[in-house]
Amino acid sequence: MDIQLPPSSVTAPAQAQPPSFSIDEFRASLGMFATGVTIVTARAANGALVGLTANSFNSVSLDPPLVLWSLARSAASMAALSTGSHYAINILAANQKSLAERFAAKDIDRWADVAFTEGVGGAPVLVGAAASFECFNRSRYDEGDHVIFVGEVERCMHSAGASPLLFHGGRFYTEHPL
């Protein structure tokens, strides 16, 4: 049986209109969305450890288990993360603010004295994380100045009772800002 829907009385525009706001206004508006903080980790083809702080993390699907995150195209770790088979997404605990800052910094040894275990496909899993998702690098989508990564979760864990590190309005919080 073929069901015919009535034509819509609203015609969608062929493309989006130019923004009516500045990049600073957009960034400030995005900052009103409180997020958790993650460190995405992997191993490059040469075995080098790769890691970066990201708060663009979200669930996609329960069956199959899928998550997503995004990375600026200009990121130094783009080559390793886009071609590698696996990565881990480590949701930071409230007491890991210094790790978030370290993995967001440039031109430092991010891995000095960082405790981790070897995860699926060699991706480092950070000790003490509130939760972790070990992912197969399933797909990538180029959008704007970022690439959206979709990972198929092969293993996950969480620490019962752990409080997550939060990010809101350009600041870290170890408990919900009232």
State pTM to two decimals.
0.87
Of the candidates 3, 18, 157, 45, the one whose C-alpha atom is nearest the C-alpha of residue 90 is: 157
Computed on alpha carbons and rounded to an integer, the radius of gyration of the chain in Å comes to: 19
Domain assignment of residue 108, yes or no: yes
- How many folded domains does the chain comprise? 1
Domain assignment of residue 47, yes or no: yes
Yes or no: say if 35 and 168 are a contact pair by the CB < 8 Å rule. Answer: yes
Between the alpha carbon of residue 122 and those of residues 28, 133, 148, the distances in Å are 37, 13, 21
Distance CA 151, CA 75 (A): 19
Of the candidates 178, 150, 153, the one whose C-alpha atom is nearest the C-alpha of residue 166 is: 178
Yes or no: say if 123 and 87 are a contact pair by the CB < 8 Å rule. Answer: yes
3-state secondary structure of 73: coil
Q: What is the CATH number of the domain that holds 100?
A: 2.30.110.10
Domain holding 128, by residue range, is: 42-160
Give buried/exposed letters for 41-79 (b at 16+ CB in 10 A, else e). bbbeeeeebbbbbbbbbeeeeeeebbbbbbbeeebebbe
HSE, CB side, 13 Å, CA atoms: give it for residue 112.
6
Distance CA 137, CA 50 (A): 15
Yes or no: say if 106 and 51 are a contact pair by the CB < 8 Å rule. Answer: no
Write down the pLDDT at residue 12.
66
Of the candidates 91, 61, 86, 67, the one whose C-alpha atom is nearest the C-alpha of residue 157 is: 91
- List per-residue pLDDT tens for the chain, 178 residues long: 566 666 655 666 689 888 899 999 998 898 888 889 999 999 999 999 999 999 899 999 999 999 999 999 999 999 999 999 999 999 999 999 999 999 999 989 999 999 999 998 999 999 999 999 999 999 999 999 999 999 999 999 999 988 999 998 889 998 765 5
Domain assignment of residue 170, yes or no: no
Write down the pLDDT at residue 176.
62
